[in-house]
Amino acid sequence: MLNAIIREIYEWLYSIVIALAIAMVIHIFFLQPTRVSGESMVPTLHNGEYLVVEKWDHIFRNEPNYGDIVIIDSRVLYDRTWLDDAVEPLHNYLAFFDSKLQTKNVWVKRVIGKSGDRLAFHDGKVWRNGEALDEPYINKGEMDYSRQGEVIVPEGCVFCMGDNRNHSTDSRFIGPVPLDHILGKVIW
């Protein structure tokens, strides 16, 4: 009788460990649920909304497309390692239950510029390679931010901005985001 109970417990523990291992592999390499924290992507995304992030492009360091909504590590001078990719899903799970546990360095933003692009900010608009961007997704009103000269996006980086331009900390302030700091693309 005791052996049967021990065996049953062992089988349950074994199944739980296998299920957790599979879930971690899926969340590290393929898909990860996450939650919006803040108002920087209004009107596209709102505080508290749930997202699904595709991680495949992050694993292969693929450059995202213009207009893609991505999850970034805002610590652009920090050297990311594989350990960061393994630990971040754990923080993400815990943040589902308590938003205070959410990491403050993981942001959701939109890709505005790619390697080699020349970006300028004036007249309430973003200019890419000399042409004003048509951005129907941004929050209404002119962008308050302007800057003398142009920003040239370095090789291996992208320039990301929030849709709520007057209330977003983004590449205008932290600089271009290295491709290894693009943690995934929002797909839902």
Give Cβ neighbours of residue 104 (< 8 Å, ≥ 6 apart). Answer: none
Query: Among this protein's residues, is 37 annotated catalytic?
Result: no
Query: Among this protein's residues, is 40 annotated catalytic?
Result: yes
Residue type present at position 133: L
Cα separation, 184 vs 107, whole angstroms: 11
The dihedral through the CA atoms of 67, 68, 74, 77 has a sign that is: negative
Catalytic residue among 109, 114, 171, 185: 109
Q: Strands (DSSP E) along 89-134, which ranges? A: 106-113, 118-122, 125-128, 131-132
Residues with a known catalytic role: 40, 109
